[in-house]
Structure 1
């Protein structure tokens, strides 16, 4: 019998790519003989899928522009699956996790777990340990949402939080173009995305808005704090985090206004106080002390 081949074109931002990862294990469990090939639209997408044992091949998608592939797949003219779950406006019509939406609505498979999957090599793991060894009680942070500025917590709140916890070292991950948090160790642009994920794994905790790093923290059970406003924590939240959400009547609005400015000055985010975030972070730090890192499930493979 001919082996079934599942061809997937990666789609969206890094966070969306991470949210597809539980589906591949489920596809292999459903049909162990199937072959999964991922065509990536960027090198950063390939970084997410690297070393994933449930994927048979990861290829560059530069010869298949997104629009062409999407058009042909939409009209069933090409054998590709595109996990563009955003087109069904999930926060308007669904109340289940994004990983489940991708699995059930696009890949037609049921998940055993909606935990994001990232596979670090032993060398990558050791690099992160050595990097964090220089810092006292490291807490990783990511303050930027590329999807929408409506999802961002005010910079002055971040700086007040950092100043209020001098016994901890806050490590700011992200791109050089993102705003810098005064008082935090500036790692913007200083690491690859995979190195950043290694830092997430070994940091004492993590705080972030809805972004790729928040989703990546799920892979390592890092106890963190997620800040939600225009996005739904039901759809994009993770069990390893305390998810803070003011639950205003106008939220979640991401599928209504997307990148348009919030007419209410993003009260869903500005309403999350520094005291609330600090209390949640301290609770997670205590949780980390109760469950040492060595006792957590480690997603890691031998060096390649």
Structure 2
């Protein structure tokens, strides 16, 4: 079964998710709700934490605070309510299904306040703080503050691979990749165009790294067909493996097995952070310190010389030049440093 799954991962790509951006409206502002006071009177209380928007990264970035709740109040019960109905393969549940500090994971549409001692909705707590005129704050910290913690004992997101998933990655590498040098896990695009590196530059990066390092190979996660619109180019088929059909957990296993992760500010980047996998991350509109300051394994590459850099969510009047004109050589130089 594991061998079949590993070999089938090279089949024609399908989208990993069917996520759509959702605007958070009519939500309470940050710090309106706190959990900690509940447990002082009711240490066995049942709380529900709601995050009905966002993506893989947000789901992972919530986990440090929830883990700390359970460590401080081990007798309590924690239910996490997520957007489970708009994602293909129920990937948010899949990410956290083996988290020992979460008692239940439900669809955010099914929350009934009467079933809990406290319900805290953190769906819109981040946006008020994500502006260019304010100091950059990591969402890990924003989530933890909104749940009652000033600091975290361990700010690293939770993600735990199973023995089966580790074996899947071993088989895939042995049967398909057959590495003779470093293996780069390349995620091609975020769900947001403002965070996605230009595909021409990505192709140039792949070819230049191949010409520089003997035996380098690439695992490419191109779920939105952003890079390989017509499949892997003929001249790359010997060293580029399209892994866009794998599940979210098998993707994590392959990232974990790879030498280095390269990609934009995205869910897979946060998986690499949770796994402590070295990473080179391409940034533009989003300040790096707002995403990777808790990931000691990660380094950022961006065009700091642009006056508009770090604009957050404002519409771009410059045709996304921070992503379009970020040269392959700049990312290549950082990757070569990390591969030394």
Q: Tell whether the 8 Å contact from 2:169 to 2:250 is kept in structure 1 after alignment.
A: yes
CA-CA distance at 1:60 after TM superposition: 3.3
**What is residue 324 of structure 2 aligned with on the other side?**
270
DSSP 3-state at the match of 2:110: coil
- 1:150 aligned to which of 181, 189, 194: 194
Q: Deviations over 1:124-172 (max 9, x none)?
A: 12112221233223211111111x2122211111111111223211111
Q: For 1:34-59, what per-residue CA distance to the aligned partner results, in whole angstroms no more than 9, with x for missing partners?
A: 21111232211111211011111222
Partner of 1:178: 226
Distance in 1 (alpha carbons) for counterparts of 2:152 and 2:95: 19
In the alignment, which residue of structure 2 is the partner of 1:249?
307
Q: Secondary structure at the match of 2:219?
A: strand
Q: Which residue of 2 aligns with 1:5?
A: 46
Q: Residue 334 of structure 2 aligns with which residue?
A: 280
Change (3 A) 1:174 1:37: farther
Deviation digits for residues 169-211 of structure 1 (CA, Å, limit 9, x no counterpart) = 11111425433164332112x1001111111111111100111
- Report what 1:30 is aligned to: 72
- Output the CA distance in 2 between the equivalents of 1:4 and 1:142: 41
Alignment correspondent of 1:187 = 243
Q: 2:59 aligns with which of 9, 14, 17?
A: 17
CA contact (8 A) 1:28 1:54 kept: yes
Aligned-pair distance for 1:265? Answer: 2.2
Question: Given the two structures, how large is their TM-score scaled by the length of structure 1?
Answer: 0.81
Q: Name the residue aligned to 1:39.
A: 81
Q: Whose helix fraction is larger, Structure 1's or Structure 2's?
A: 1
Contact 2:50–2:119, Cα closer than 8 Å, also in 1:
no
The answer to whether the Cα contact below 8 Å between 2:198 and 2:324 also exists between their aligned partners in 1 is: yes
Normalising by structure 2, report the TM-score: 0.73
User: What is the aligned length?
Assistant: 269
1:95-114 equivalences under 5 Å are 95-104=136-145, 106-109=146-149, 110-114=151-155
Q: How far is 1:83 from its partner?
A: 4.3
- Helix, strand or coil: the match of 2:120? coil
Q: Distance in 1 between matches of 2:271 and 2:217?
A: 20
Distance 2:164 2:288 in 1: 33
Structure 1 residues 271-280 or 216-225, which shifts more?
Answer: 271-280
Rg comparison, structure with higher value: 2
Check the 8 A contact 2:126/2:142 in 1, yes or no.
no
* Contact kept? 2:130, 2:312, Cα under 8 Å: no
Q: Work out which of the residue numbers 266, 271, 281 in structure 2 matches 1:216.
A: 271
**Worse-matched range after superposition: 112-121 or 198-207:** 112-121
CA distance in 2, matches of 1:176, 1:87: 25
Task: Please tell me the root mean square deviation across aligned C-alpha atoms, in Å.
Answer: 2.2
SS of residue matched to 2:126: helix
